Amino acid sequence: MESYSPFYDKSLKALKSNPLFYNLDDSLLSGLLKYFTLITWKKNTLIPYERNLKYFHIIISGRVKISKINPQNGKSIILFLLHDKDAFDLISLLEAKEHDVVIETLDDIEVLEISVEDMRKWMIEHPEFNKNFFPYLGKMMAKLEELSSDLALVDTSVRLGKLILNYANKDHKDKNGYYKVHLIYDLSHEKLAQMIGTVRNVLSRHLQKFKDENIVHFKRGHLSIKDLEALKKKCEDFI
């Protein structure tokens, strides 16, 4: 992307505000931006895995889910719910190997796209980037570790409670006095189930129990927390 592009200032601002590029000189980011293209995808777009073998993406706006699907029974689990300032696909960036995941947009999204080859070259030339990259990589690995341990050790009700707590906005309430929930507030029960490794009817049963206990409030397209302390108590041994 050249400096005369109408998207240049917006894209440079996005890089500067991204944790992956904190404390890097503006000149480095301006040089890197030359290799990026700003692209958009519509909601519910499946991004071909072949594309992620060739390109690395930084999200400017919107949400993306990264899933694994069992081709024999169709069951799926959401490994990551990514949003602005996140990046994908890290594995393809680290090794030139097919990464068998399904990447789908949950909103109309904007991303900065760079070829994996150019990004790897830039990383080698500017090792100071690793001060941000490795902590981000560690954070993503920690999320996978937590998911795998929860699936093995924690019952479904607690997994649901932890999921809601992880996305709770503990400092802001809606007009009803309920605590807002970020990112997952409008997801279907099926998608919420995929985030905790269960099926929709089981998820719905636990969510309804939380509602009956006046812990959460939900209706189509909106999930919020009525009693934050009660929700924490449900999960207190696992957070």
Q: For 205-227, give one letter per residue: b (16+ CB within 10 A) or e.
A: ebbeebeeeebbbbeeeebbbbb
pLDDT digit string (tens) for 40-75? 999 999 998 778 889 999 999 999 999 999 888 888
Give residue limits of the domains in the chain.
8-135, 153-235
| Per-residue model confidence (pLDDT) at position 175 | 87
* 8-135 and 153-235: identical CATH topology: no
DSSP 167-196: TEEEEEE-TTSPEEE-SSTT--HHHHHHHT
How far out from the chain centre does Cα 109 lie? 13
What is this structure's pTM?
0.89
How far out from the chain centre does Cα 229 lie? 26
Pairing of the two strands 87-88 and 216-219: unpaired
The phi, psi pair for 161, rounded to 5°, reads -60, -45
Q: Name the pLDDT band for 116 (thresholds 50, 70, 90).
A: very high
Class at the top of the CATH hierarchy for domain 8-135 = mainly beta
DSSP assignment letter at 5: S
Average pLDDT across the chain, whole number: 92
| Per-residue model confidence (pLDDT) at position 93 | 86
Residue 203 near residue 160 (C-beta atoms within 8 A): yes
Q: Name the pLDDT band for 114 (thresholds 50, 70, 90).
A: very high
pLDDT digit string (tens) for 6-46? 999 999 999 999 999 998 998 999 999 999 999 999 999 99
| Per-residue model confidence (pLDDT) at position 220 | 77
Strand ranges (E), 90-131: 102-105, 109-115
- Fold for domain 153-235? Arc Repressor Mutant, subunit A (1.10.10)
pLDDT digit string (tens) for 190-237? 999 999 999 999 999 999 999 999 999 998 779 999 999 999 998 887
Q: For 147-158, give one letter per residue: b (16+ CB within 10 A) or e.
A: beebeeebebbb
| Per-residue model confidence (pLDDT) at position 239 | 62
